Structures are given as structure tokens and as C-alpha cells.
Amino acid sequence: MSAKSPAVRIEPLSPLLIEPAVRAALLEDLGRAGDITTEACVPPDATAHGVIAAREAGRIAGLDFALTAFRLLDPKIKVTVRAPDGADVEPGETIALIDGPARPILSAERVALNFLGHLSGVATATAKLVALVAGTKAHVVCTRKTTPGLRAFEKYAVRCGGGRNHRFGLDDAILIKDNHIVAAGGIKSAIEAARNHAGHTVHLEVEVDTLALLDEALTLGAHSILLDNMTPDQLREAVKRTAGAAILEASGNVTAQTITAIAATGVDLISSGAITHSAKNFDLGLDFKPV
Amino acid sequence: MSAKSPAVRIEPLSPLLIEPAVRAALLEDLGRAGDITTEACVPPDATAHGVIAAREAGRIAGLDFALTAFRLLDPKIKVTVRAPDGADVEPGETIALIDGPARPILSAERVALNFLGHLSGVATATAKLVALVAGTKAHVVCTRKTTPGLRAFEKYAVRCGGGRNHRFGLDDAILIKDNHIVAAGGIKSAIEAARNHAGHTVHLEVEVDTLALLDEALTLGAHSILLDNMTPDQLREAVKRTAGAAILEASGNVTAQTITAIAATGVDLISSGAITHSAKNFDLGLDFKPV
Amino acid sequence: MSAKSPAVRIEPLSPLLIEPAVRAALLEDLGRAGDITTEACVPPDATAHGVIAAREAGRIAGLDFALTAFRLLDPKIKVTVRAPDGADVEPGETIALIDGPARPILSAERVALNFLGHLSGVATATAKLVALVAGTKAHVVCTRKTTPGLRAFEKYAVRCGGGRNHRFGLDDAILIKDNHIVAAGGIKSAIEAARNHAGHTVHLEVEVDTLALLDEALTLGAHSILLDNMTPDQLREAVKRTAGAAILEASGNVTAQTITAIAATGVDLISSGAITHSAKNFDLGLDFKPV
Amino acid sequence: MSAKSPAVRIEPLSPLLIEPAVRAALLEDLGRAGDITTEACVPPDATAHGVIAAREAGRIAGLDFALTAFRLLDPKIKVTVRAPDGADVEPGETIALIDGPARPILSAERVALNFLGHLSGVATATAKLVALVAGTKAHVVCTRKTTPGLRAFEKYAVRCGGGRNHRFGLDDAILIKDNHIVAAGGIKSAIEAARNHAGHTVHLEVEVDTLALLDEALTLGAHSILLDNMTPDQLREAVKRTAGAAILEASGNVTAQTITAIAATGVDLISSGAITHSAKNFDLGLDFKPV
Amino acid sequence: MSAKSPAVRIEPLSPLLIEPAVRAALLEDLGRAGDITTEACVPPDATAHGVIAAREAGRIAGLDFALTAFRLLDPKIKVTVRAPDGADVEPGETIALIDGPARPILSAERVALNFLGHLSGVATATAKLVALVAGTKAHVVCTRKTTPGLRAFEKYAVRCGGGRNHRFGLDDAILIKDNHIVAAGGIKSAIEAARNHAGHTVHLEVEVDTLALLDEALTLGAHSILLDNMTPDQLREAVKRTAGAAILEASGNVTAQTITAIAATGVDLISSGAITHSAKNFDLGLDFKPV
Amino acid sequence: MSAKSPAVRIEPLSPLLIEPAVRAALLEDLGRAGDITTEACVPPDATAHGVIAAREAGRIAGLDFALTAFRLLDPKIKVTVRAPDGADVEPGETIALIDGPARPILSAERVALNFLGHLSGVATATAKLVALVAGTKAHVVCTRKTTPGLRAFEKYAVRCGGGRNHRFGLDDAILIKDNHIVAAGGIKSAIEAARNHAGHTVHLEVEVDTLALLDEALTLGAHSILLDNMTPDQLREAVKRTAGAAILEASGNVTAQTITAIAATGVDLISSGAITHSAKNFDLGLDFKPV
């Protein structure tokens, strides 16, 4: 039985980023006294054969986190991946096989599944929206509305879901919003200040909520324009007026019900906070099998 | 306008736990170059008056995280809490007022809202289940299915929602599950091993999925028994057989649709992973008001 | 020559807990410039054969810390354990053999011995008390009076000494003491507040110093009762009144001189701060032998 | 009632060193859930007046650690020091008064006392030896046999006890011991290698166990010579032969019984590992007083 | 005497970034035993009035680091800034006045000056190049050739010098170099792969060393083109061919001797590694004045 | 082709010191999103053969940092060192060969070269001064004027350059400067205070700027005397007066132009801040070669 292929191209995260997070999560779970249940009940030399299986359909993300959890507790644990990050699975489908000493498998189980369930949840929520815009030019993108401490990981899960990433933080792109415009004394002075201040690699995006402001932003040379809470008709008009002079991002009220119509307007990007901050945990479990 | 009272008694988390998490989240967002948008567009001496308001109904949790985010960027920011942790809010209701220098308010905003939205989401999901068991003796409890790095915070949010906490990690209570029983060679040897191994303050809970195993666990002196995936009829029979000799926890298939019937069986606890790992972000926003 | 067996069942500590502590201790000793004596005097290719031997009789604890110290400085160092954690040794007895490059052995020596001496000291102090209560039902337990930063390790050493662990921190059990009772307005309100507040896995222990308070605590349903500074006669009466309804812990004035009489009263637990905070370092040394 | 004066000149440790250690100790004690006993039983607005008092005679060290523990939990706690670091106290004597909110006082108590008891124990053990060499030129010095993680603090406590510090780590002085001499092929090549390797600020000490080796070390220009396990007669002869050409340190079998005789030989320093690694915890307590 | 104005607009770095670096540097200097010279020689109550003055002409950067060093050792130290970050100073000119307790001023001095000298050195080197391109459209930009651990700070110093920042790391812009082109099988596939992979906020720059490759990069839609080691004639031709379709960056052999001619070609940016990795320390000192 | 030999004896730094610094530098460069250029353009299975070569003449230092950077990103990368730390290289000479997977080599390249270039720059600057004092008894020594966070590494590079190290921090030797003397009320009271305060391993150095103060310092028993900003004639006189009774260090205005004359005066040490704080980056590059 060979492993599945991912549905999208996935570039793995660096272990330098993954390992500290998994180590911290293991310590959070082990506490000061460690896994007292397993130590009490499970003989040191017991071995186990476990199966991580999906309990619903979805897109997998986060296996390297699970692997790292098992490896950090015992390098002798062998993990065989069946459905790698980026792969779609059906309910009941095997994601990975776990073989090795029973104690560290049991002690790492919850941390491994918490990462895998959370990130697969993000990937699955993303993949659902991505599927709904298939055939259009629109990309689904995430936001900075991420779980504290997990931003790089959730953005990775978005990529596993076929989405694209918006900026990773306050420092890697300029995004001028309403409050900035007010404080700067108008969209013109805000954009000009930004252009004067930014290095040449810094992308300049402006949020607008009217077509008049869109026109102004285009004139002032914004690279991207975030169209906030516009109707499909407004979006269609925005696409027409922009005529490729800037990247257009639709935002606000993006759901499975609305996204197809939004994508049909011709915008380049549709952003969603929900795919990161409100994704349901992907349901999966680790069951021991008789050897 | 005076502040609301919380719906449940809330003991605040220690700043020693909160501050490092908020600091890390701010650094995650500021990156290497800081908030380049605000620096470019907003004058250093601009001040702002903002309102954090609910955009849906729910239970608040996490204000100390938001306050810490603002304070760490500028102690001169003044936050006036209207709806404290544990309070219920309606859509549009003011949660807190933010006054002070505009720049650090803008730079801290996303981190503040990410914590507040996430934890209020957990509290709201919990409060919904708690309301559905009102009038019964059942408490809603959380699990170890939490977001990596946020366990103590999500468990705090569960308390804000009126729920109770199960164990915080692998080290502060024994919970013998199926795999442990298999590895120990039976429920009897598992429980006896646990009793011999544990310190006197360690609580001993055993998971069973049949009434026969329940009987055995009761005989062996478990303090609590987790009844996994039982029907209401089975649960009712379990309550009858136990007759107060142990604490009974119902688990599995716990939803808003099922929980009232489960609670009616007379169990002491109903545990839910969804209230922590799948809670939808609570919708709120920070809007600047004209001064 | 085969290794000895431990006198008690020992579950090893997780390397996730041990390694950071040993790494920090090595850095504390190496400072900014490293082991300038060894670098100056010992040729890089020198090898050594060393013996860690006891210089007094006692119980061993902490070998994994010593092993980690050597491994972190050079994985090529080979350590052969003769007397593992939990084993009793006589003066002059070999604890472990160290073979490998001389430089890292010399550089790690002090850190390895500091951990091993300190933890074996705790284990030895514990084992002495444990031996004095042999034949009774009483267990020797430790307290939170531990060396800052070393609590989990000293509690492990107590287990190596045959003792049991009391709670690990303020968060994993309730222990109501005099000051709490005063602040709560009486033992009744204190215990009731605790019962209302605590999760179901939280053990509830109450400290009393009179038999009248014992009676009250029993009525209120405390799981354990700490009998503070009572005479053997009082303890015997407490055991009689309790009749198994709660776990009884004797505390105060516990020494090698008094512990046997205390144990004879029938209490379940005897707690000692001295086994962790005042244990004499176990005397041992690392001597190089001619190869 | 004014504060006492210290018996020796004390330079306070930098808060940069103290605060991280106290913070870590508080987190070790608070765990994930915090002080659940105090939260449950003590009203948020309760205040307390406590007294930290000695329960035996001794020398105080570590008050800044205790103060930091209280301050980190609540800056409103007021601590009034009666017997500062370096002061001698009698049984029952007040060391400090603690006033403020009851909850954080109770939560910080154990950590504050653990530091204060441990460091005062080291200071007291040191002061006992120092008193026994009064009237001689000998200084009592400590070693690198310290508790892992606490070296700078225990060395500070030694100073509070009137002792002096030997080197702080492997990097701030050269100390050539037997094993180094063997590995270097003799005392001559060892000392010459050290002199060639070391920077000009690096002190060079050599351990010898015979008078013949002492002569050789003197010829080779060692700054200090550690006389290991010599009898008083040997030490007296060593002092005579050295005639001030090097600092002489006596080591080995240093106890309250032997130290006066050793000091009488005219050596400059007497080193003891026991004052740091085997000091008994100084007995003290925090009692709440009626306000 | 009022403070000078900076020569360029400076946005201060967040204290969240500065404080940990200064704290680490202070601990690096204080070591385990602290400032033993000052403790020995300077009375605790001594006060001092010091002047930080320039010993050469240059541009100031890093005062917040110096202020933080003094504040962390004693908040009572008062620092009055005369020449803020971004200001030009002459030899002998006062940069800041330091008043307060003498001990912490002396203990923080070296760390304060090390930061201030290093960052002012970077600012001064940058300002020299910036002055040489005055009157052209060219901006001086830095690279990733920075001192490990100090990137954000050195990039800040470049801004103080009037320069602009290139990308801050591997993650905030794409820069395709020779090796990437080889590995990708040509410039076309490299740029296309980058465009397909990157989020919409990611800037795409390509390094070329011939005009033919420039043409290709322009056709493929690179946002910026790095012209490596080209002669002024080649650069002039590149500017002509590009005609504003991309940002042009000249790199290689950029010195005070060559930069004016390079700027005259009409390129947009001139990058220099030397301004960060080879900037001479700016010479300054802290002298105590009689009060 | 075999590796060169170092020009001076080099003792390697402990990996315990190197690895955290390299890990932090990699994370500083990778940021939140990693090496997006390499991920986009370079196939995962591409391999590369690279050469790190000198682009100028100089002394190498820091190869273990470069090796660690490559190893941390991928242990499969093979590095073959041709010119080890302490070796002199000519322009164009190969320093090391790098073979292995192309992606991690590209991602680690900048961090590896930043360390190697910086430390080789320090070593080269040191070696130049060392060569200029050849044939005299003078050693070139560094100061505490180092780059924040890199002190131990720059001091190591000084040793690679053939220099010697002065003290590593404020805690490992006493150095009484002008300000201390003023605060102590004169050189006599300063030196006496220092002698009374310091442990026996602590070296005592005093800075003087007149011959009269030199005489006083000699009388008071300073171990070393720093002669600040003296002319060669004054230095010669100082050497004569001292007559070997203390170590003499010349400081101030030490350049390639002046150092030979200073060394000719007979001083023992010549200290330079410039070799650490103003060393030009050593020019080197990593070029991929066709396999």
C-alpha cells in the first residue's frame, strides 16, 4: 500500500520552526510529573501498533508536527505516512501507522493529534472554499486573524488547503485601513506617506469601501486594493475600473454560500479570517491494533 | 455607565502566565521591522478613542490578554472595561473603551482581538452547553483537546463559560483508557497498578464503554468513571448502578442537540472537546470613534 | 560484572525535562570562556577511564542527569551504569564507569557529580525514613519545600528513596491551611468554597491541629487530612475517629528519632520537608584510573 | 523598631540575576492552573499582616529573592525588612513584615521561603565555620560544588556568611588537579601549558597532595596552591616552605571539628563544599497575625 | 540647551525588540558575579554626572539601547538626550547627559556604549554614502549581510543614516540569484516558479549580470532587478532599456569612490553590505564630570 | 588535497555555546515563512557542490559556526574543511567544500557566511597587529568593546588571530579606572577596597595615566597596570620603573602605525578595541560549481 499524493504542491516547514513548538506542547502536557497513567499501567517493554485514521472527510496538514511529537519522546517510534500533508482523505481512511514502544506513543498521542487535528481543520476549511472558486481566477487567502503563537503553522495549513497567504505580520507589507486613513488625514496623504517610507520590496495595499476611494487608490499607485464588504455588483464594477492596474482582494462576508458569486466577479483574491480562526478541528483518532 | 457583572464567578489568571504569551504574540506580529503601516501613515502624536464591541451575542473571556497587549506597547493606553470576563453581551454591545496614543493602539489591535476573540469563542461555546444542562446536576467539563500552547488559557475560558475543568495535563490525574487497559492486561491490573503508583492526591478515573466494565471499575475503587459513547438509557442505568459511589462522566457525541438528554440521565459531568478545539472565534471589532 | 537492581520500582524521568536542566548547569559552569584548565593542560586526543564511586552508603538517584552531562559535551563518552537509580550502594562501591575522550569527561565532571550527589542525597535521606517505617502502613511523602528550579527532580529522587510524592505545585491539589481557614471565616466555609470551586479530579486536603477540627473536616468531606504537630496519642485517636473515611497525613517534628512512633499510630502518610530541603549531599567522586 | 545591621559588608545581587530565577520558581509552583486553594477559599479583597520569623539562630541571606517573589505576584505587597541579608538572628526573631492583599502573599509564600531558607542555610553554615577561624588569617571559601542553577546565589550566600568565593566556573580561573597533571604528563608541563595558554588576568592555582609537589609548584610560579587532605603538621610545614610566595588553600576533611586547627597552621584559605551542597535549610516561617 | 533635530525622519524601534537584546548584553557583561570592580571601589550612595560625547564626526543611532541599559540597572538614572538618533554630531559634541547613582551608571556603561558605538557606526557609514548620491534619485540600501542577532537593529541604523532597507530575511521578498537560476533550469522557469508560488504581497526581484538577462527578466515581469557588478555604462544602458518598467538596483563594488558615478546612471537603488558588516565603530565615550 | 594547519594553537569552542547562536541567527533569517525563494525555484531533490573561497588574504575563524548552520538545516550536508580556524589564506583560496542537497545549502548560506566573515574579520585584524609586534615580548589583547551578544565568539576569533584575551566581563577580574578612583576617593582607597573585597582568584588591574600613579599602584600591589595613552618614552620609563613587579598593558591610540613602537618599549600587553568592534568583514563567498 503506497502513500497518496498531495492535492497541491506542499513545501515542508523547517524543523527549526516545528520542533520548539512541539517541544513546548509536550512539556505543557507532561507538566512536572509526566504521564503518570502510562507509567503506572503500561509495562516499559510493551510495544504497540497504532493507526491514525480520519473520522471525517478532509484535507491533511501537520503530519511533521505529529512525527516530531513521537520522535521527541522516543526516536525508536516508527511512523509510516499514508496520506501526507495536502492529501484528501475519506472517513475511516488511514493517515499514518505508528509502531514502536507503547509508552511514548501513548504519552505523545494527544499532542500529536492536537496539532494534526487543528492544522487539518484549517486545511480542510480552506480546501472547501478553494473548491468553490474553482474555474475562476480567484485565490483564497488568509489573514492575520490567527491563533496566537501558531501563525506560521496556520498559514502553512492554508497552503495545504490550496489557499495562498496574505502578509505574515505587521512588518512584511503595508496594508492601509480606515483608521490609518483617518489618522493620516485622507487616503492621499496616507498612500504618499507609505510610498515614501517603505523599502522597495514592500507591497502596498489599501483598503477601500467605495468605488470613489478605489479610483483614488488606483491613481495613487497602490499595488493591491482590498475591497471591503462590497456587493458582487460593486466588485464587478471595481474589476472593470481597475482593468488589471492593481491586484483586487474581496473581503467581508465570505462564506461557503457567498464565495462562488464573489469569485465570479473577477477579483484576484478573496480573504477569509474564518479559515484560520474558526476552523473546526478535523476529527481523527489514534487506535491501537492487535499486533 | 457602569461595568456589567460576570454571569459566573471568575478568578483572574496570574499575569505571570498571561504576559509571556501576549509578548510572544506581539513579537510574532511585529516581526523584525514592526508595524510599518502605522509608522508610515499615523503621526506620532495622534490620539485615538476606540471601542471594542461585540458583533454577535456571547460570553466574554480574555480581557486581561487584550489589556496586556495594549499595555506592553504603551502603558499610557487606557482601557475601560464595560463587559468583564464572564459577562454576557449582545450584538453591538460595548466590551471595552480604548483611549490613548493612536500608534500603539493600532499596533496591538490584532493581537488583542485575536486573544479576545479566541477565548470568548471558547467561553461562548461552553456557555451554550452549560445553559442546556441548567436545572440538572451535570457540569460541562473540557478535555486535553486544546490548542497547543494555549491550554491554561482555554481552560480559563471554559470557566468563564460556566464550565469546569478536567485535568490540565498528563501529570495531574490518572485517566485509564482502553489502550492502557489492553497494555496492562485487563482493567483490574490497570487500576491496581495505578493505585499502587499514585500519590495520595492523585485522582483515579477509568474509561469504560460497557456496564460490565463499569461494575468492575466500581468494585476496584475508581474515583471517577468516564462512560464513553453510551446511550441515555445506558447512562441512566450506570447512574443507578453507581449510586453515588463514584463520579460519573459522560463522553462522546456531546452536542447542543444531545446534551440535555444526557444531562437528564443524572450523570455528574459531561465532557466536550469541541468547546476548546472547535469553538468558532467570537466576532468582535475595534472601531475608532471621532473624539 | 552485571548491574545491580534498584530497591524500588523506578520510572525514568522524561529527557525533555532532564536535558534543559543539565544544559543550563553546564553553561553555568562553562561560563563565557569554557574549561580553560582542561584546554590548557590536557591534549585533545587524550582518553580516560574513570570510575564514579560512592564514598558513603546510600541510595542512588540522578544517573540520567550525569549521563546527559557527559553526552551533551561529547556523545562519544561511554557510561556503564553499575548501580542504577534506586539501588543501594556501600562505601567504595562503583556506581558507573566512564570511558572516552578525557577533555569532555573533565569538563562535565562537576555538573554530573553535582546532580548525582544532590539527588542521591535526597534519595538517601528518604530511604532512611522509609526504612524506619517498614512494617507499618505509613508512606513517607515529600512537600513543596524543595530547592527552587529542582522540584520535579527532587520529587523523583524521593521516589528513588522509596517515598511518595505529595502535590507538585499550587495547582494540582487543594491543601487548606490555617491561614486559608482564617481568611475564609472558618473551616466550614473554606472546605465548602473549595468543593464548589474545584474540578472533579482535584484532591481536597485540609490541615487541622486539633481533634475537634478533624471531626469537622471529616463531616465536610475532605479527602485527606493533615494532622499538624500532633502527639502520637493524638494521632492514634485521630486514626480511630477517622476509621478510614479519609487519608491521614502526619506532619511536623518528623525525624529519624520520631518517625517510627508516628508510623505506629496507624496514619497513612508522614510528610517531611527535610528530605528535600535539608538532605546532605551524597558523597561520591570520579577518579581516573590508569588504562 | 529599626532594622538590624548586617554582620558583614554585603553588596546586593543585581535584580537582572534574581528576577528570572524567582519568576521561574513561581511558575514552577503555580503550574498551569495557579493557586487553586487560595482562589477557592480566600476572598479577593482580604488583606493580611504576616511576619517572617526565624525558628532557629542563624545568618540571613536571600531577602531580595523573597521580596521579588511577593512583588512579582503583586507590587502592592509591602515588605518591611527587620533583619537584612548578613544579619544574625535568634530563634523567634522577626526577619520581615509582610502587609498587603492576602491572596498573592499566600501564593508567593512557599517560593519566598524556599529561597530564603535555602540561602540563609548556606549563610548560616558558612558563618559557623567563619566564627571558628576568627583571629586567624584564614578565610573560608566555597567551591564549585553548588546546587545546579543556583551557583551565583549560593556564592552570594557564602559572602553573607562572611566567607569568600573561589572561582565561579570553569572559565574564570585555572585550577590544575590530579587528573590534569596526569593527562599533561606531569606538574611541570601542566603548569607551563597553563601559563602559556591563559590570559594575563587568569589566576593559576594548582592542587598538590605532597610537600614535594608543593615545592615544584612554587618553583613553577603558581599563584595559589591547593593543599589537599594534608594534616595540620603538613600544612604548617607548607606555610613555612611557601613563605608568602603563593596563596595557600587547605582542602579536605574540613568540618566544625577540624577547621580551627587547620586555620591555626597559617594557611590563607580553607575551602568547604559542604557549606553550599550540604547546608541544612534555615528554619523560618510566615505567620499571619490578626490585624 | 535644547536637543538637536535628526537629519532624517526616524521611527523608533519597539521596546519589545530592544529590551531583550539589552538585557542579554548586560547579562553577558555582568556574568555570574556582577561588576566586582564597582562594588568594591564605589560607595553605594555615590552619585555621578556623566557626559556621553562624540570623539569624531558622525550620525547617531542607538540611544534607546543606551537608555535601556541604564534603566534596566537602575530606573533612577536620568538620561538627557542632546543629539537624538538621526542627528549629526561633531567631534566633542555632547550626545547625552547621564545623572544618577554612580554604581549602575558604571556597570551599564560598556553595554550602553557598545550598542551606541556600533549602531552609530552603521548610521555614519550609511550617511556618508547617502551624502555622495545627493541630488540623484538613487537610494542607498542595505543587505542581509548583517551581524548575527542584530539584523533589525542594524537595519534601523541604516534608516538613521538616511538609507533604506532591503528585505529583512529570506521570507519577506523573493530574490532570485545565480544559483537559483541554475537550479531552476533557467531564468524563465525560475521567475515563473516564483510567481506561481508567492503570495500577492511578495515582491519579486531577480539578479542579473548581463543586459540580455535584464531583457528577459523585464519580459517575465520581475518587480525589481538587481544589476550585479555592472559598469556605469552598462547600468546607464540598463536604465534606458528598463524605462521605468522595474526598479533597478546596482550592486557590487560600491564604495565611496564609486557610488557617485553609479548613482549618476539613473538606477533607483544602490546596495552595500559594507555599511552593516564592515562599519567602523563610532568613537564616543562616557566621562564623569565633577558635580 | 589535504587541509592546512592553523598558524596558532586553537582550542575549539564548545558546541553548547555555538549552537544556540547559530540557531537564533537562522531563525532571524528564516523569519515566519522561511526561504521562499529557494522553495519556489529549486527542486527538492536538487544537489549542489559549492566552494567557500576567500576573496582577500586573511586569517580564518568561525568555521564551526558555518558547519553548524548547514547541519542544523540538514545533517546530510557534507562540509570538507580546507583551511581551518587559525589558518592563513590567500585571495581565491578554498576554505571549505560544501556538498549535499541544494535547498538547505542555499538557505543556510547567508548565516554561515555572516558568522565566518565577521569572525574571520576579527581574526585577520588581530593577526595583522600580532605580526607587527613579532619579535617583542608584547601580546596583543582585546577588550570588552565587543559586539553585543558575540563577546565569547569575538574573543575566540582574537585567539585565532594569535591575540590573547583580556577579561570576559565585569565579573572575572577587577579593572579600576579613573571613574572608580574618583568615586573611591583616591587610588589608595580604591586598590585597598578591591583587595579586601575580591576572592583570591581575582586579578587586580589598575589604569593609570601618569608615572606617579604607576608608582603608587605598584606600591599598593596591583597585579597589572594599564598605562593609558602614554607615549613610547613614558611607556619605556614605566617598564623600567616596574621592573617586572607587575604586568604592564599599553592602551590608547593603538594602530598598525603605532603598535610596533609601542611593543618596542617592553610592555607586556597592548590592548585594542578596534580588533573586535571595528574589524572589517572578511570577504568570502560561496559559489556553486557544476557537478
Q: What is the residue-wise DSSP string for chain A? A: -PPPPPSS--PPPPHHHHHHHHHHHHHHHHTTT--HHHHHHS-TT-EEEEEEEESS-EE---HHHHHHHHHHH-TT-EEEESS-TT-EE-TT-EEEEEEEEHHHHHHHHHHHHHHHHHHHHHHHHHHHHHHHTTTSSPEEE--S---TT-HHHHHHHHHHTT-B---SSTTSSEEE-HHHHHHHTSHHHHHHHHHHHS-TTB-EEEEESSHHHHHHHHHTT-SEEEEES--HHHHHHHHHHHTTSSEEEEESS--TTTHHHHHTTT-SEEE-SHHHHSPPPPPEEEEEE--
Q: Which residue of A has its CA nearest to F36?
A: A11
Residue boundaries of the structural domains of chain D? 15-122+280-289, 132-277
Residue contact F168–C39, C-beta within 8 A: no
Contact B32 F32 (CB under 8 A): no
At A217, phi and psi to the nearest 5?
-65, -40
Chain C residues within 8 A of B172 when measuring between CB atoms: 168, 171-172, 201
Interface probe for C, chosen from B197, B201, B205 (most Cβ of C below 10 Å), is: B201
pLDDT score at B197: 86
Residue type, C56: E
Catalytic amino acids of D? 110, 145, 177, 207, 228
In this predicted structure, the answer to whether residue B179 has a pLDDT above a threshold of 90 is: no
pLDDT class of A231 with cuts at 50, 70, 90: very high
Which residue on chain E is closest to A199 by alpha carbon?
A: E165
Q: Give the Cα separation of B163 and B140 in Å (integer).
A: 5
- Note whether C104 and C30 are within 8 A (CB): no
For chains B and E, CB pairs below 8 A equal 27
**Residues on chain E bordering chain C, Cβ-to-Cβ distance under 8 angstroms:** 28, 31-32
Please pick, among F177, F188, F195, F236, the residue that the annotation labels catalytic. F177
**How far is residue D19's CA from residue B19's CA, in Å, rounded to a whole number?**
15
Q: How many CB pairs under 8 A join A and C?
A: 27
Whether the pLDDT of residue B154 is over 70: the answer is: yes
Cα B104 from chain centre? 29
Alpha-carbon gap: E27 to the closest alpha carbon of chain C (Å): 11
User: Residues of chain C whose pLDDT is less than 70?
Assistant: 1-2, 291
Contact list in E for residue A165 (CB cut-off 8 A) is: 199
pLDDT of residue D179: 85
pLDDT in tens, E224-244: 999 999 999 999 999 999 999
Q: Chain F residues within 8 A (CB-CB) of chain B?
A: 28, 31-32
DSSP E33: T
F283 is catalytic: no
> Is A117 a residue whose pLDDT tops 60?
yes
**Three cell numbers written together for C76:** 562519544
Chains with 3 or more CB pairs closer than 8 angstroms to C? A, B, D, E, F
CA distance E287 to chain C (A): 28
Residue E127: its pLDDT value, please? 98
- What's the rounded Cα separation, in Å, for the pair A231 and A224? 19
Question: What's the pLDDT tens digit per position in D154-170?
Answer: 999 999 999 999 999 99
CB contact under 8 A, D200 and F224: yes
Kindly give the parts of chain F with pLDDT less than 50: 1
| Residues of chain C found within 8 Å of residue B142, distances taken between Cβ atoms | none
Q: How many helices (H) and strands (E) does chain F have?
A: 11, 12
Pick among C200, C223, C251, C270 to test the B interface (most B CBs inside 10 A): C200
Evaluate whether B40 touches A198 at the Cβ level (below 8 Å).
yes
E50 vs chain D: nearest CA distance in angstroms?
22
Q: How many CB atoms lie within 10 A of CB F217?
A: 25
* Residue B168 confidence (pLDDT) above 80: yes
Contacts C168 to A, Cβ<8 Å: 31-33
Do the chains contact at C32 and E31, CB–CB below 8 Å?
yes
- The whole-number pLDDT of residue F3 equals 80
When CB atoms are compared, the residue of A197, A201, A205 closest to E205 is A201
pLDDT of res. E197: 86
pLDDT at E2: 61
Minimum Cα–Cα distance from F11: chain C residue: C39
Contact: A31, D31; criterion CB under 8 Å: yes
pLDDT at F291 (0 to 100) = 59
Cα distances from B95 to residues A283, B66, B120, B286, in angstroms, run: 33, 11, 11, 10
Q: For C27, which DSSP code?
A: H
Q: Provide the CATH number for the domain formed by F15-122+280-289 in this structure.
A: 3.90.1170.20
Point out the catalytic residue in the list E110, E151, E188, E236.
E110
Phi, psi (deg, nearest 5) at residue B256: -60, -25
* Chain A residues within 8 angstroms (CB to CB) of chain F: 11, 13-14, 16-17, 151-152, 155, 165, 168-169, 172
Give the H/E segment covering residue D284: strand D284-289
Contact: D199, F164; criterion CB under 8 Å: yes
* Chain segment C271-284, per-residue pLDDT in tens: 999 999 999 999 99
Q: How far is C28 from chain E (nearest CA, A)?
A: 8
- Other chains touching D, judged by 3 or more CB pairs under 8 Å: A, B, C, E, F
Cα B246 → chain centroid? 25
Longest CA pairwise span in chain D (Å): 72
Report, as an integer, the average pLDDT of E247-254.
96
Which residues from E are below 8 Å from C31, CB to CB? 31-32
Q: What is the pLDDT of residue B182?
A: 84
At residue B101 the predicted structure's pLDDT band, cuts being 50, 70 and 90, is very high
Query: Which cell numbers in the block locate residue D154?
Result: 549560593
The interface predicted TM-score (ipTM) is 0.97
Q: How many helices and strands (H and E) does chain E possess?
A: 11, 12
Tell if the CB–CB gap between C33 and F152 is shorter than 8 Å: yes
Chain F residue with Cα closest to B28: F32
**C27: which chain F residues are within 8 Å (Cβ-Cβ)?**
16-17
Please state the rounded mean pLDDT for residues D101-128. Answer: 98
F156 Cα to chain B: minimum distance (Å): 29
- Shortest distance, CA F19 to any CA of chain B (angstroms): 21
Taking an 8 Å cut-off on Cβ atoms, the answer to whether F155 and C30 are in contact is no
- Among B120-124, B149-153, D188-192, E58-62, whose mean pLDDT is lowest? D188-192
Question: Which CATH superfamily is F132-277 part of?
Answer: Aldolase class I (3.20.20.70)
How far does Cα E103 stand from its chain's mean position? 32
* Interface-testing mutation among A23, A28, A32, A71, with chain C (most C C-beta atoms within 10 A): A32
Contact F225/F249 with Cβ under 8 angstroms?
A: yes
pLDDT digits (tens, 9 = 90+) for F171-196: 999 999 988 998 888 999 999 999 98
Q: Give the three cell numbers for residue F227.
A: 598605562
For residue D248 the three cell numbers come to 595557600
Chains with 3 or more CB pairs under 8 A to chain E = A, B, C, D, F
| Nearest chain E CA: its distance from C105 CA (Å) | 23
* D32:A32 CB<8 A: no
Return the number of other C-beta atoms located less than 10 Å from residue A241's C-beta: 13
**Given a cut of 90, is residue D280 above it in pLDDT?**
yes
Return the number of CB contacts < 8 Å for E and F: 216
Q: Do D23 and B16 touch (CB under 8 A)?
A: yes
Q: Indicate if the alpha-carbon torsion angle B23, B27, B33, B38 is positive or negative.
A: negative
Does the predicted model carry a pTM greater than 0.95?
Answer: yes
Integer angstrom CA distances of residue E15 from B23, B104, E153, E276, F79: 11, 12, 12, 22, 40
Question: Choosing from B23, B55, B145, B236, which is the catalytic residue?
Answer: B145
pLDDT at residue number D2: 60
Name the residue of chain F whose CA is nearest to A149's CA: F32
Closest approach of B187 to chain C, Cα-based (Å): 20
Asked if A145 lies within 8 A of B110 by C-beta distance, the reply is yes
pLDDT in tens, B34-50: 999 999 999 999 999 99
At D271 the three-state DSSP class reads strand
Chain C residues whose C-beta is within 8 A of a chain A C-beta are 11, 13-14, 16-17, 151-152, 155, 165, 168-169, 172
Which pLDDT does position D183 carry in this prediction? 82
E59, E90 in Cβ contact below 8 A? no
E157/chain D closest Cα distance in angstroms: 27
Taking alpha carbons only, the member of F109, F121, F91, F86 closest to residue F37 is F109
CA distance C58 to D145: 19
pLDDT single digits (tens) A234-278: 999 999 999 999 999 999 999 999 999 999 999 999 999 999 999
Query: CA-nearest residue of chain E to D169?
Result: E32
- Assess whether pLDDT exceeds 90 at residue E17: yes
The CA distance from D217 to D226, in Å, is 10
Checking if the pLDDT of B2 tops 80, the result is: no
